């Protein structure tokens, strides 16, 4: 993917960019975003436009295969002091700076690298926001976590739980419902 500025450097002017688009050599994927490929996943475009964001919440549960419910919006986490993302497709979560970088992984999604919180970190997020989810949705994800528990790093889960805001409540819920 390339920005309009990068296309200008490559092709010289808006006229030549437009000619490349008309000839099918270049594709306008989103406002100010171009690609040599015609089909680019929307989440890859959003992560290109907002490189300091991380996929979280319902979008991460879906991408990790913990639910089959396709989210209506893309859930992206940013630091508390980040600017508001002005995209209607995005639901933004402002995360405390000290907890933001905990558990960021890279996922290959349809050939594109997407920053996403790990399954271990997402378990903590699920427990932190338990009351915000419909009961059936929450239970589906908890049951799927129980199935993959042997493959998860328990120490990492506990570390994230201690680092999270409201860690006491999170640890109690973790012990009662998951471990």
Question: pLDDT tens digits, the chain, 179 residues: what are they?
Answer: 999 999 999 999 999 999 999 999 999 999 999 999 999 999 999 999 999 999 999 999 999 999 999 999 999 999 999 999 999 999 999 999 999 999 999 999 999 999 999 999 999 999 999 999 999 999 999 999 999 999 999 999 999 999 888 788 888 888 888 87
pLDDT of residue 166: 78
Element (H, E) at 78: strand 74-79
Indicate the number of domains in the chain.
2
Give yes or no: residues 69 and 136 share one domain: yes
- In whole angstroms, give the CA distance from residue 173 to residue 158: 12
Which residues face 79 on adjacent strands?
A: 95
What's the pLDDT at 24? 94
> Residues 89, 171: one domain?
yes
> Are the C-beta atoms of 59 and 89 separated by less than 8 Å?
no
Q: Are residues 34 and 53 in the same domain?
A: no
On whether both 126 and 152 belong to a single domain, the answer is yes
- Is 74 in the same domain as 24? no
Closest CA to 118 of 70, 142, 89, 153: 153
Do 10 and 50 reside in the same domain of the chain? no
Judgement on whether residues 94 and 171 belong to the same structural domain of the protein: yes
Same domain, 48 and 114: yes
Q: What pTM value is reported for the model?
A: 0.91
**What pLDDT was estimated at residue 63?**
96
The answer to whether residues 51 and 79 belong to one domain is yes
Structural domain span for residue 62: 43-177
Strand order in the sheet with 74-79: 90-95, 74-79, 54-55, 112-117, 104-109
* Chain position carrying tokens 């970088």: 101
Together in a domain, 30 and 100: no
CA proximity to 142, closest of 162, 122, 165: 122
- Residue 72 sits in the same domain as residue 126: yes
**17 with 99, same domain?**
no
């Amino acid at each position: 993917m390339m920005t309009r500025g990068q296309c200008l450097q490559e092709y010289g002017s808006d006229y030549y960019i437009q000619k490349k688009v008309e000839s099918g050599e270049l594709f306008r994927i989103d406002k100010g975003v171009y690609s040599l490929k015609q089909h680019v996943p929307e989440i890859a475009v959003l992560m290109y436009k907002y490189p300091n964001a991380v996929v979280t919440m319902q979008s991460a549960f879906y991408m990790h295969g913990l639910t089959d419910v396709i989210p209506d919006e893309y859930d992206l986490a940013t630091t508390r002091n980040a600017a508001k993302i002005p995209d209607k497709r995005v639901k933004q979560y402002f995360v405390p700076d000290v907890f933001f970088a905990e558990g960021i992984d890279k996922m290959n999604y349809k050939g594109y690298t997407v920053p996403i919180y790990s399954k271990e970190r997402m378990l903590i997020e699920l427990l932190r926001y338990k009351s915000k989810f419909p009961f059936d949705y929450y239970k589906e994800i908890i049951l799927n976590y129980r199935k993959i528990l042997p493959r998860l790093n328990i120490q990492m889960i506990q570390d994230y739980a201690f680092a999270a805001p409201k860690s006491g409540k999170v640890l109690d819920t973790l012990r009662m419902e998951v471990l």
